[in-house]
């Protein structure tokens, strides 16, 4: 079966440990290609997207082994840059391999990446930036092929602070000759984690967390042990889920230092929060106070990956809320399912909706169509009257180790089927 069954209307109570970050783990796994040695990644999340990335790496000759505390990777026997089609199908994160494969092998060929249907997410910015460093690309309907006899450092100005483009350039720049500056770089914590990992391996990256990153290239990297940081999106999901069901929860190991916008929003919605070194304690009201207007933005703004969950929670809040999606144009695919549960949502434009809070949603059979929308439907089901069945669990498994197990830790009646 591929579904989650939820009995709604039960307040949450308890604590749950937050898993390692999906968005940090995937580019770091790609960066292991640059290390002709073993790497040990503690706290690596056991999620579908990580397993998919490992399948790609193993198809290229790398070896991976799960151990009690994490994942051991050995890329010393890496083959050429041609990835089997079956390994890449549905894997948006395969795009992270462009930079490191060009750097180490001088060539890369991959099927056009898949992933969630939340927007176009073109790779033009990746290709343009790597071309400025000396790569040459050819594209057809199915594949992108890149070659680089020699990568050279360059000043790369990004027209938008794209996380993926920033990470690809970073990985390529570590091996490139000379100095690379990335101007307009993404500042997300996951980009910072990649920089920290590469520096631990011997790279020289400066300006971490700032909009201009400087990389001194030509370094030889060595193996290391690195701990994947906790997932701020998973922590935010469970925090917001507390508004759907009400109750008091403790999010152990939640990365609160990188959740300022989410915590500020939660407090405005009526949560009482206490932040400690161990995590976040949240006491959530029975009904949230809806935010009059909220706009997603690049870090440190409110994350697009939590917009769908916030939308679901706002459906039972007090008052109206306008939610504007500024990153991806197709983030509102969850609206119809929420409406089937009784939500009052009006589409104002492709990127903007108005939500009028209702007292309670009704449990329904609904379908996850992408990762974060699936998490949003799960949150909505926690506070709904009666039983809900969410199909398409495979999408949720891309980013959550076991969302049903975690929510059961908080007292929810929820099972995977």
Give pLDDT tens digits for 283-332.
Answer: 999 899 999 999 999 999 999 999 999 999 999 999 999 999 999 877 89
Whether 181 and 260 share a structural domain: no
CB 158 within 8 A of CB 88: no
Whether 164 and 135 share a structural domain: yes
Helix H or strand E segment including 199: helix 189-200
The residues assigned a catalytic role are 116
Condensed to tens digits (0 to 9), the pLDDT of residues 273-292 reads 999 999 999 999 989 999 99
The CA distance from 313 to 323, in Å, is: 12
Whether 158 and 293 share a structural domain: no
Task: Give the tokens for residue 27.
Answer: 């580019």
Question: 257 phi and psi, to 5 degrees?
Answer: -65, -20
pLDDT over 50 (residue 64): yes
Q: What is the mean pLDDT of residues 184-211?
A: 98
Whether 14 and 110 share a structural domain: no
- Angle 189-200/22-31 helices, nearest 10 degrees? 30
Beta strands in 52-141 (DSSP E): 63-67, 70-74, 107-111, 136-139
Whether 121 and 261 share a structural domain: no
Q: Which domain holds residue 235?
A: 3-19+230-416
The CA distance from 37 to 81, in Å, is: 18
pLDDT over 70 (residue 83): no
- State the total domains in the chain: 2
State the pTM of this model.
0.95
The CA distance from 318 to 291, in Å, is: 9
Whether 192 and 317 share a structural domain: no
Residue found by looking up tokens 């403790």 in the block: 250
The CA distance from 65 to 67, in Å, is: 6
CB 187 within 8 A of CB 229: no
CA max distance for the chain: 62
User: Where is the domain boundary, 200, 227, 254?
Assistant: 227
Whether 99 and 183 share a structural domain: yes
CATH of the domain at 102: 3.65.10.10
pLDDT over 50 (residue 228): yes
Please state the separation of Cα 237 from the chain's center in Å: 12
Whether 53 and 13 share a structural domain: no
Whether 294 and 400 share a structural domain: yes
Whether 255 and 196 share a structural domain: no
User: Where is the domain boundary, 227, 254, 278?
Assistant: 227
**pLDDT computed for residue 81 by the predictor:** 56
Condensed to tens digits (0 to 9), the pLDDT of residues 215-226 reads 999 989 999 999
pLDDT over 50 (residue 388): yes
User: Where is the domain boundary, 227, 255, 277?
Assistant: 227
Q: What is the mean pLDDT of residues 93-99?
A: 87
Whether 219 and 235 share a structural domain: no
């Amino acid at each position: 079966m591929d579904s989650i069954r939820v009995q709604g209307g039960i307040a949450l109570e308890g604590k749950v440990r937050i898993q390692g970050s999906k968005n940090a783990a995937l580019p770091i796994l790609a960066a292991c290609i640059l290390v002709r040695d073993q790497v040990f990644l503690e706290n690596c999340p056991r999620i579908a997207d990580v397993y998919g990335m490992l399948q790609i790496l193993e198809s290229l000759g790398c070896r991976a082994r799960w151990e009690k505390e994490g994942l051991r990777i050995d890329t010393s026997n890496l083959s050429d840059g041609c990835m089997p089609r079956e390994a890449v199908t549905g894997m948006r994160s395969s795009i992270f391999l462009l930079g490191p494969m060009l750097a180490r092998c001088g060539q890369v060929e991959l099927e056009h990446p898949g992933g969630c249907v939340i927007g176009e997410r073109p790779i033009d910015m990746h290709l343009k930036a790597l071309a400025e460093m000396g790569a040459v690309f050819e594209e057809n309907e199915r594949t992108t092929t890149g070659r680089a006899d020699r990568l050279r450092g360059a000043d790369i100005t990004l027209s938008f602070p794209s996380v993926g483009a920033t990470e690809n350039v970073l990985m390529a720049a570590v091996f490139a000759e000379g100095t690379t500056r990335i101007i307009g770089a993404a500042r997300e914590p996951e980009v910072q984690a990649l920089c920290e990992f590469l520096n631990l391996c011997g790279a020289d990256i400066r300006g971490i967390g700032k909009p201009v990153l400087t990389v001194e290239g030509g370094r030889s990297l060595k193996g290391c042990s690195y701990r994947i940081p906790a997932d701020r999106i998973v922590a935010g999901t469970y925090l917001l889920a507390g508004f759907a069901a009400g109750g008091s929860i403790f999010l152990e190991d939640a990365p609160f230092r990188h959740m300022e916008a989410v915590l500020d929003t939660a407090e405005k919605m009526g949560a009482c929060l206490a932040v400690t070194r161990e995590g976040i304690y949240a006491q959530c009201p029975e009904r949230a106070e809806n935010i009059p207007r909220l706009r997603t933005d690049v870090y440190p703004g409110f994350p697009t990956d939590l917009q769908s969950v916030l939308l679901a929670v706002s459906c039972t809040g007090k008052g109206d809320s306008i939610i504007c999606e500024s990153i991806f144009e197709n983030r509102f695919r969850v609206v119809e399912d929420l409406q089937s549960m009784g939500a009052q949502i009006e589409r104002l434009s492709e990127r903007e909706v108005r939500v009028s809070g209702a007292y309670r949603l009704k449990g329904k059979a609904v379908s996850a169509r992408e990762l974060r929308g699936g998490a949003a439907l799960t949150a909505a089901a926690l506070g709904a009257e009666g039983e809900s069945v969410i199909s398409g669990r495979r999408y949720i498994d891309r980013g959550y180790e076991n969302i049903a197990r975690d929510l059961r830790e908080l007292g929810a009646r929820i099972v995977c089927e």
